[in-house]
Structure 1
Amino acid sequence: MVLTVFYDSQCPLCMREVKMLTRLDKRGALHFIDAAANDFDASSWGYQQQELMARLHALGEDGRLYTGMDAARAMYTAIGAGWLVAPTRLPGLRQLTDAAYRLFARHRLRIGRWLGRQDCDSGHCRIN
């Protein structure tokens, strides 16, 4: 199954994850779309821009929508690395990682600056 992943190219940490997943995706299971691109039209996908930029979204071929940490779990599972995120499905740990993701998503740009991640030119990062 191919997942269409809407990502924020203005977020350096997000871009590092996208680059890593692109390298690891030997199955061609992930299709990345830059939701922050000037020419991106969220409404053509049935979403609002603000909604897509608030947290990670991944859309399965079957129409199932994954958001936040569930989207991350779906991405790793799609590339055959589900074992890396399997512990985050356990009761207790699931709630903790979901809450941590929500906090990260809300402050991702600030966190990237704090960590000195300035991988992006002119406000956007590229996938190589």
Structure 2
Amino acid sequence: MIIFYDGNCPLCVKEMDSLKRADTHNKIILEDINKDDFEQRFKNIKRHDAMAFLHGQRDNGEMIYGLDVTFEAWQTVGRHSWLKLLQLPIVRFIADLGYRLFAKYRRQITRIFCQSSCGIK
């Protein structure tokens, strides 16, 4: 599985670092969408789209998005089994709305909630 994440977002980086530490079998590849050569290496993904919504790619090439990426990633490494609650219809609807808001305002949210713990000003 490949996860395409915003390497300029301290909260996103923190989550990816946690995920990678849990990935003891190296099943997940992390790709920072801010790398200069990103769009050349991943022609099917537009940086603008990936900035708006988390993108992932399964080993078979199928793309997945948003909380489905988070759910599948943590499932892949055998952690956070409680995330399966996100698959329940009403919970999924609410979680998707919350995720969309987070994705859109993640930089502002980071500034408010993560100043000391993420090392940003």
Give the TM-score of the pair, scaled to structure 2: 0.89
Q: For the residues of structure 2 that align with 1:44 and 1:90, how far apart are their CA atoms?
A: 35
The question of 1:87 aligning with 2:89 is answered no
Structure number with the bigger relative contact order (C-alpha 8 A, sep ≥ 6) is 1
RMSD over aligned CA atoms reads 1.7
Matches within 5 A, 1:48-87: 48-81=46-79, 83-87=81-85
Matches within 5 A, 1:1-128: 3-37=1-35, 39-45=36-42, 46-81=44-79, 83-115=81-113, 116=115, 118-119=118-119
18-27 vs 101-110, which deviates more?
Answer: 18-27
Give the TM-score of the pair, scaled to structure 1: 0.84
Letter of the 1:40 counterpart: D
Q: For the residues of structure 2 that align with 1:5 and 1:40, how far apart are their CA atoms?
A: 16
User: Which contiguous aligned blocks of 4+ residues in structure 1 show a shift greater than 4 angstroms?
Assistant: none
Letter of the 2:81 counterpart: W
Letter of the 2:31 counterpart: I
Aligned sequence identity (%):
28
**Do the aligned partners of 2:111 and 2:120 also contact (CA within 8 Å) in 1?**
no
